[in-house]
Every structure is written in C-alpha cells, then in structure tokens.
Chains A and B, each alone.
Chain A
C-alpha cells in the first residue's frame, strides 16, 4: 500500500513538474527520459537475459538518422518515419543477433563494440547523412494538429512513452515468454530441456532492446531538431551500460534511477572537475569508471535494491486464481514401449562414457538405472533427453527416432526430466519455476504478453503449476524464492516442474538425494501414483532401499557398459553385480 502511494507520488510529481520547474531542469529531465528508454532495453537484455551490448547508442543513431534523413530530404511525415526506423533497427538487430548469439555470451558484446564503432564512422563519412556536421532543420512533431515544440511539451511526450514502455516491459516479464527470458540467466540447458527455444528468446530480447533505443533516437532527433554522429558513439553506448549497472540491472525502475544518477552526476562533474583539475576535458569518465568498478565489487545488483531496502514491501499473499485445467496429452497404453535405446555409444574424445548401451522403458513402470559413480548414468540421461546426443546408436521415443533432435523438440514429444545438479532460478518463486515446466502448454507470444491479452492462458498455466506443486506436497512453499528451500525440497520442485510439462516419460536424476526419511517416503508414494496413472519413469538413484522398493526393473551400469538387467531381486542376486557394485558392502556403507 505504502509503495503504491510512493508510486502515485512519483507520477504526480512527474505530471506537475513542468508547471514549476525551470527550463534547465526540464531539459535535463527530457534527457533522463530519453536515456532511460535505452537503459530499459538494457535492463531487459543484461539484467534479465544475462546478455549485454555496448552498441545501443548505434541503434539510437539509426532511429535519429532515419527520421532526420527522411523528413528533411524526402519530406516524409515524422510519424511515418518511426515505423521505418523501427523496421531498419529490427533488421540490423536480428542479423547481429543471428550471427553472435549462437556462440558464447561474450561474442554479442564484442560484436556490438565493433558494430558501434563502424556505424559511428559510417554516419560521419556518408555524404547524404551530412558527414560529421550532421543534418539540420528536422521538423517538429505534431500531435493531433498541435506542434510539440517546446521542451515542456516534449517532456510529456517523452515521459508518457517511457512509462508506457516500463508498463509493457513489466507485463512482458510477468508472462510465459518473460519466464523463458528470465530462464536464460540460469544457462540455456534447463530452459531448452523445458522446451524453451533459447536462441529465439535471446534474439527477441536483443531486438526489443534495440527497438527501445531506436524509439529514443527518433524522439531525440525531433527534440533537438538536428543530429550529428557524436551522441551515437561507442562511448555513449558504454555510458548506457553504466546507467543500467549503477541503477540496478535487474529492475525496470533501475533504468530510470541509473539514467537519472549518471546524467545528473555527469552534469555536475563536467562543471566541477575541469575547475578542480585546471584543465578542460571529459574527466567525468574517470569517476564513472571507478564508480562502476566500486558498484560491481560492492553492490552488484546496483542502487535500486539498496533503495528498496529503505521501503520494505509488506508481505502480500498472492493467490493463484482458479482456472480451467489445461488440455492433457493422451497417455500411451499401459505396458507399451515408450523409450527404446539401442546400442548407444557416447564418446568424449578418447573416453567412452557409454558403450553399446541398450534399455527400454514402458508406460506404467519404473525403470531404475543404477551403478557406481562415474558409470555413465547421467551421460545416458543427457543422450536420451537430447542435451548431448549419442555418438552412435539409436534412441527411439514413442517409436520415433529422436537421437538427432534438440532437447526442446524431444521435450515437446512428451519427455521431461530433472537434473542431478538442481537447476532452478533461485530468485524466482517456486510457482514461477514450476510454471517454466508448462512452457510448451501455452502458445501466446511476447506481443500478447506486452498487451496483456494472454491473461486467461497465463492463469491456466499458473493454475497448472500450482496443482503440480500441491501434488508434490510443496503447497506451503509456493510463493517462496526457490533458492531459499533446502536442497532436498529443491529436487522436489524440479519434479513438479517436470510434471507441469504433462510428460508421458519422466527422467529423474537422483531425486532422493538429500531427502529425509519421511520426504523419501512421500516421494516414493508420488512416483507410485504416477506409475499407476500410466506414466513411464526412468530413475537414476544411489539409495538402494529406495530403488529396490520402487523399481519394476533395474539396469546396472559399470564403466559405461550394461552389467546386468532384470527384476530388482534378480539383480540383487546377480554375482557380477554383487562382485562389481554391491560386493564391497563394507566400503560402501553409504549406499
């Protein structure tokens, strides 16, 4: 409630500001608003998506130069140049994203540095863009027949657009696609296994960030009424990143805070430093650089979270609304073969991690894959789920060969998994983490999310996530941050997330590790119920009591090979297994 009041006060101050503030302050606020738009895109890209770009100023330049050129040379109406500028920006961003985003995370920033530099020199050397002197005489904007000419009038336009962008950005993040984007930071492995097309998600955030920058540039050109290359140089691109890091890369309001702090600080330092040092020059960059290092060392999340600490939010209890259940997949007949692995071999260089492995899993059974540490069980899991494909051999899922498919295509066919090393997004709530599992069960995209026309589907997805959480016995933790749960419970969250995908085959990698006795018993109950419903379960586990009490069949692996296969009691009597695996009972008390 109090935070609502603060927000209201902020908006009221924004609305009334121009009536009382002097011209100079209005100009400053206009620039803060324009910079904040660019910074907002960077929040999405850097703070949320875990990518970054130093070339945002170049996108601002595209927005400004497109409208400057079209309005002055061809007399096009400014409102028609906006879609043109956005289209050019989108094309460039898609291309740059396509060539850099498939590689390691640092190729995008390096690519954007190079692109920022070459675009700057291009602006400065192309004759029809006016060279380094630039283009003058850009017409003013007119809105509903009124000319938006003065700084005060522009102020309302800039801040209205900025607040609209903040709103749509928040909407976007609080949605199915938003969760997919937020999942990028946790590494693409988990997101892909949940069916998220991670290259697409990365390209979307990069393009959206570029479009925000372009809009800012378009406004800038009509505010200034002239453009030259200087404000679109790489150093300005770096300054945008500073704003975001200082303000708080993970928060939409951090963009506005950062833009404000850096812009005002710059103004102030440009006044004072030359006097202090007795020379003229851009010495504020020294302070910015040091400030940035300090922030990254001491307050990596930026200033916004520090500010929030002064106004702690009251604990509100969100509630998941009732919604229609999602459509479920028809499960294959009980006893039919779901998964068939034939002669699968996986090599890492000279190391053979899986050697000629074969196994089957049927609907309505629990198949346990056991073996000492390093036997190749997790490698087998990764091969089956498409994370790291087999070197030779075949994997059939529901009769179809899937060894060449990506993890997300396999997920789409009804296979879902958990990870041995828990891969949750620690800062997100349990509910949101589990909802990532239901990603493939929704289809509304980010445009729907930005305009909030996907609320019905979103409610269904969250409702489904809540059902799975309750089913796994974690209802009381639903709104807690996933990272605050003990490790054993985090494993159960992983199972709930896998179940939210409505799979017919569930791959569980050591689900009972770290669980207490009663929790283990509850987990066993849950898996029995799933089996009864007709799901196939492939289980890797070290807890022999747990495995032997639950599994219908067991495959034993050692040194990447299959050592034995059969009913639990057969395997337990198998001399080779006893010799190689259970043989050293004395040394292996732990099992």
Chain B
C-alpha cells in the first residue's frame, strides 16, 4: 500500500467518520435527555437524502405525506389533551403548527416545480419536511410512556425504526439514489486528489458541532436541555417541561440526521434502508463514549469511519463484520473498567 492509497482511504474514513460523529452526538443527546436509545436515528439520514433527491427529480417526496399524517395525529392527541384540561386557548396554535405549516409547505411544493429551485432552497425544504417529524414521533410514540424503563423505550425505538423502514420503502421504492454534488471542486495535494465534496462534509460537520456547542452554552433552550440531561427531576422542579425537552432533543436529532443525509447524498448511493447501518455505526461511536461523553463519542465515531474505510480495502466482504465486532472489545473494556451503579427502574 502506498501513500496515495493511505491518503485516499483516510479521506474516505474521515468523511464517513464525520457523519458518524454527528450521529453519535445526536444519540448521546437523546439518550441523556430522554433515556431513549434512538435506533431510528439512521432513518432520518435516509429520509433527508431521499427527500432531497425526490425534490431534485421533480417529485413530491413521500416524507411530505408522512409529515401531514403525523401532524394530524399530533394535533388530535394534543387537542384531546387540551379539551380534557380546559385549555381551549391552545387549540389554534396546535392546529397551526401541526396541520397549518405542513399544508402550507405542501401547497408551496405543489405550486412551484421543486426540481428547478436553487439547491440551498431544496435543502431548506428538505429540512423543513424531515425535522418536525422527529418531534412528532417523540410526541406520539415516546411521550405517553416517557417514564417507562430504558428497556421498554428501547423496544419502542425498535418498533419505530421498523415502521419507518417500511414507510421508507413505500415512499422511495427499493432503488437507491444520489443527489447533485454541491461542488465539483477538487484539490491536488502531491499525488493525491482531495475532493471538494469531502472537504464540505467535514467543514459542515464541524460547523454544525460548533453551532450545537453554542446552542447548549448560550441559549436558554440549550441550557434547559442540558439541565434535563443532568437531572430530570431537578429540571422539572425548576419548571423545565420534560415533554418540551423531549420534543426538542428529538427535533435536534432529526435535524442532525437529515443534515447528515443531505451531506452524504452526493457521495454515496442511499437506499431506503441504508440509514440503519449508518446510524448503528454512529452508535458504536456513542458506545465507545459510554453514551455519556460527547468528545469521546465523536472520536470513537471517527475511529469507526477509518476502520471501515481501511477494512473495505483489505477485506471488503468482511467490512461490516469488522466494524460491528469492534463493539466487542469496546464493551469488554467498558465492563472491566466501569463499576455499574444500579438505576432505579
């Protein structure tokens, strides 16, 4: 193996590693705030990528119908709650956010031809369709049993994952797709070529991570999420709504997922079920960080990306085996070093 190949593989590994790192951060965030192990994280990657590619193909993406359907279900659940608690004044807002906004979005998409829109607008529309789905799923699937055990929430996660995979197949079909590259720049470094798209992925991931950092450090909602992650009961006593924190963290996770999908869609062909394995690799990173530490999770995810790209060179058939077997020494190491303190379930 010469230096050129090492550079190429390293480039590949860092690109996917950056995506896994984003997903690992989202997983740690969701787990810390809600105790949900968010298996469907990867589906948002696929939904983001495939929604964008549908728009570029001039089709109405199926995620739009999912948004409208889930919005109606959330509105129904929230309004029946409001009726029972005599909070009628909330009804117009509930209707506006959950039904009004998706319908406006649908109206806009029907009025223009999405394929001709500039790429940034397409990306914005994609995020506008996919991101609210995160919060809606929290409201419908998790919020009613938010106090259940981690195990129960995990089983719900798997159920949501399975349902979303099926819907993905229904919306986007079994064929994979790619989107138009954001840039066709490339740089020559010695003998190796550095793709502009790769640089974009890494830079965009870094920007998102920095943005999240400021969100958590500087904004009141970010601080509320951190408080909930540290001490749920304490945060609730301080007037931070657990439901709000849950919806917010799921929305951020959906944002991170969809954004990652948009970033990698020009580089990799994404199928309706590609998200699962991508999300799980983020998971391996998150587990290296013990589902608690953001920097270690991110570093672990980069490691997973590099391992994957090098093993696909040496033993491409066993790529997945090698990546997922990595979790075994990690778990062994964690179980030998951590003293498990029992949680009250």
Q: Are both chains from one complex?
A: yes
Chain B 140-179 per-residue mask, 1 if CB under 8 angstroms from chain A, else 0? 1100110011111011101111111111011001100000
The answer to the question of A420 belonging to the interface, with a C-beta cut-off of 8 Å to chain B, is no
Which of B82-90, B125-133, B215-223, B327-335 lies at the interface with chain A? B327-335
- Complex CA–CA separation, A63 to B100 (angstroms): 54
In the complex, chain B residues whose CB is within 8 Å of the CB of A281: 166, 169-170, 174
The answer to the question of B268 belonging to the interface, with a C-beta cut-off of 8 Å to chain A, is no
Chain B 283-322 per-residue mask, 1 if CB under 8 angstroms from chain A, else 0? 1100100000000000000000000000000000110110
- Complex CA–CA separation, A102 to B141 (angstroms): 30
Chain A 86-117 per-residue mask, 1 if CB under 8 angstroms from chain B, else 0? 00000000000011101111110111011101
In the complex, chain A residues whose CB is within 8 Å of the CB of B321: 118, 121-122, 125
- Complex CA–CA separation, A293 to B138 (angstroms): 12
In the complex, chain B residues whose CB is within 8 Å of the CB of A319: none
- Complex CA–CA separation, A52 to B37 (angstroms): 14
The answer to the question of A224 belonging to the interface, with a C-beta cut-off of 8 Å to chain B, is no
In the complex, chain A residues whose CB is within 8 Å of the CB of B162: 235, 238, 285-286, 288-289, 292
Which of B18-26, B205-213, B337-345 lies at the interface with chain A? B337-345
Of A114, A118, A122, A293, the contact of B160 (CB 8 Å cutoff): A293
The answer to the question of A445 belonging to the interface, with a C-beta cut-off of 8 Å to chain B, is no
B334 touches A279 (CB 8 A): no
Residue of A nearest to B315 (CB): A125
Residue of A nearest to B158 (CB): A238
A107 touches B331 (CB 8 A): yes
The answer to the question of A188 belonging to the interface, with a C-beta cut-off of 8 Å to chain B, is yes
B344 touches A187 (CB 8 A): yes
CB contacts under 8 Å to A, within B171-210, are 173-174
The answer to the question of B324 belonging to the interface, with a C-beta cut-off of 8 Å to chain A, is yes
The answer to the question of B325 belonging to the interface, with a C-beta cut-off of 8 Å to chain A, is yes
A293 touches B156 (CB 8 A): yes
B159 touches A296 (CB 8 A): yes
B280 touches A117 (CB 8 A): yes
B275 to chain A, nearest CB (A): 14
A49 to chain B, nearest CB (A): 11
- Complex CA–CA separation, A197 to B169 (angstroms): 47
The answer to the question of A241 belonging to the interface, with a C-beta cut-off of 8 Å to chain B, is yes
B155 touches A118 (CB 8 A): no
The answer to the question of A277 belonging to the interface, with a C-beta cut-off of 8 Å to chain B, is yes
The answer to the question of A290 belonging to the interface, with a C-beta cut-off of 8 Å to chain B, is yes
Of B163, B338, B340, the contact of A285 (CB 8 Å cutoff): B163
Residue of A nearest to B344 (CB): A187
Of B166, B167, B332, the contact of A99 (CB 8 Å cutoff): B332
The answer to the question of A300 belonging to the interface, with a C-beta cut-off of 8 Å to chain B, is yes
Q: Known contacts A110-B287, A122-B321, A297-B145; is A283 also within 8 Å of B150 by CB?
A: no
- Complex CA–CA separation, A50 to B155 (angstroms): 12
A245 touches B155 (CB 8 A): yes
CB contacts under 8 Å to B, within A282-328, are 282-290, 292-293, 296-297, 300
B165 to chain A, nearest CB (A): 6
A283 touches B159 (CB 8 A): no
B155 touches A241 (CB 8 A): yes
A-B pairs with CB below 8 Å: how many?
Answer: 143
A106 touches B37 (CB 8 A): yes
- Complex CA–CA separation, A50 to B340 (angstroms): 17
A104 touches B280 (CB 8 A): no
- Complex CA–CA separation, A496 to B63 (angstroms): 59
B6 to chain A, nearest CB (A): 25
A241 touches B160 (CB 8 A): no
B153 to chain A, nearest CB (A): 9
Q: Known contacts A106-B37, A115-B324, A122-B321; is A99 also within 8 Å of B342 by CB?
A: no
CB contacts under 8 Å to B, within A120-175, are 121-122, 125
The answer to the question of A440 belonging to the interface, with a C-beta cut-off of 8 Å to chain B, is no
- Complex CA–CA separation, A282 to B167 (angstroms): 10
The answer to the question of A359 belonging to the interface, with a C-beta cut-off of 8 Å to chain B, is no
A143 to chain B, nearest CB (A): 37
- Complex CA–CA separation, A485 to B211 (angstroms): 54
A106 touches B150 (CB 8 A): yes
The answer to the question of A381 belonging to the interface, with a C-beta cut-off of 8 Å to chain B, is no
**A50, A100, A189 — which one has the most chain B CB atoms within 10 A of its CB?**
A100
For the complex, count residues of B whose C-beta is within 8 A of A. Answer: 51
B248 to chain A, nearest CB (A): 21
In the complex, chain B residues whose CB is within 8 Å of the CB of A188: 342
A125 touches B318 (CB 8 A): yes
Of A46, A54, A100, A293, the contact of B331 (CB 8 Å cutoff): A100
- Complex CA–CA separation, A187 to B340 (angstroms): 12
In the complex, chain B residues whose CB is within 8 Å of the CB of A46: 151
B163 touches A289 (CB 8 A): yes
A121 touches B320 (CB 8 A): yes
A106 touches B151 (CB 8 A): yes
B150 touches A105 (CB 8 A): yes
- Complex CA–CA separation, A241 to B164 (angstroms): 17
In the complex, chain B residues whose CB is within 8 Å of the CB of A125: 317-318, 321
Of B149, B169, B280, the contact of A282 (CB 8 Å cutoff): B169
Q: Known contacts A118-B321, A235-B162, A286-B166; is A292 also within 8 Å of B155 by CB?
A: yes
CB contacts under 8 Å to A, within B84-125, are none
- Complex CA–CA separation, A274 to B98 (angstroms): 30
Residue of A nearest to B334 (CB): A103
B292 to chain A, nearest CB (A): 11
Residue of B nearest to A52 (CB): B151
Of A50, A98, A187, A288, the contact of B342 (CB 8 Å cutoff): A187
In the complex, chain B residues whose CB is within 8 Å of the CB of A52: 151, 154-155
B154 to chain A, nearest CB (A): 6
B327 touches A50 (CB 8 A): no
In the complex, chain A residues whose CB is within 8 Å of the CB of B140: 293
In the complex, chain A residues whose CB is within 8 Å of the CB of B173: 279
A561 to chain B, nearest CB (A): 25
A181 to chain B, nearest CB (A): 16
Q: Known contacts A52-B154, A109-B154; is A103 also within 8 Å of B340 by CB?
A: yes
Chain A 225-260 per-residue mask, 1 if CB under 8 angstroms from chain B, else 0? 000000000010010011001000000000000000
- Complex CA–CA separation, A292 to B158 (angstroms): 9
In the complex, chain A residues whose CB is within 8 Å of the CB of B164: 289
In the complex, chain B residues whose CB is within 8 Å of the CB of A54: 158
A293 touches B141 (CB 8 A): yes
A296 touches B280 (CB 8 A): no
- Complex CA–CA separation, A293 to B161 (angstroms): 11
A118 touches B287 (CB 8 A): no
Please list the 4 inter-chain residue pairs (A to B) with the smallest Cβ-Cβ separation, ordered nearest first: A289-B163, A286-B166, A292-B159, A118-B324
Instruction: Identify 14 new A-B residue pairs, CB closer than 8 A, beyond the known A114-B327, A293-B156.
Output: A102-B335, A102-B340, A103-B331, A104-B340, A107-B334, A114-B280, A114-B325, A118-B320, A187-B345, A242-B159, A283-B166, A284-B166, A293-B160, A296-B152
What are 22 of the A-B contact pairs (CB < 8 Å)?
Answer: A50-B149, A50-B151, A106-B150, A106-B151, A107-B334, A110-B283, A110-B287, A114-B284, A114-B328, A115-B328, A121-B320, A241-B158, A283-B166, A283-B170, A285-B166, A286-B162, A289-B164, A292-B158, A292-B162, A293-B160, A296-B148, A297-B144
Interface residues, chain A, CB within 8 Å of chain B? 46, 50-52, 54, 98-100, 102-107, 109-111, 113-115, 117-118, 121-122, 125, 187-189, 235, 238, 241-242, 245, 277, 279, 281-290, 292-293, 296-297, 300
